[in-house]
């Protein structure tokens, strides 16, 4: 009888641990990014960032400017 209680307890503990790991995996931090590069200086390019979780996210951004290479030969 004691061996059955030990097996039942270990099985229950394993099941609860798997449920907890599943909850942690689903609640992880998630951000989706997408982009649209046009190649035109007048129109510009877009980068989209979407928060996939219900938590607040703080984003920092950089503005990148590319100067054309001047041929001085």
Answering whether pTM is above 0.75, one says no
**pLDDT reported for residue 11:** 94
Neighbours of 51 (CB within 10 A): 13
Would you say residue 40 lies in a domain? Answer: yes
CA distance 61 to 11: 48
Asked if residue 36 belongs to a domain, the reply is yes
- β-strands 31-36, 46-51 pairing: antiparallel
CA distance 24 to 21: 5
Domain count, the chain: 1
**pLDDT recorded at residue 55:** 78
Within a domain: residue 71? no
Query: Domain span at residue 44?
Result: 2-51
Are 50 and 32 in contact by the 8 Å Cβ rule? The answer is yes
Residue 26 placed within a domain: yes
Confidence of residue 31 (pLDDT cuts 50, 70, 90): confident
> From CA 73, how far away is CA 41, in angstroms rounded?
25
């Amino acid at each position: 009888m004691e061996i059955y209680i030990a097996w039942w307890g270990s099985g229950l503990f394993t099941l609860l641990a798997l449920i907890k790991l599943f909850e942690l995996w689903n609640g992880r931090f998630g951000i989706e990014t997408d982009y649209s590069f046009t190649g035109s200086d007048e129109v510009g390019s877009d980068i989209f960032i979407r928060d996939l979780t219900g938590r607040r996210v703080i984003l920092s951004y950089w503005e990148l400017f590319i100067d054309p290479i001047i041929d001085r030969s």
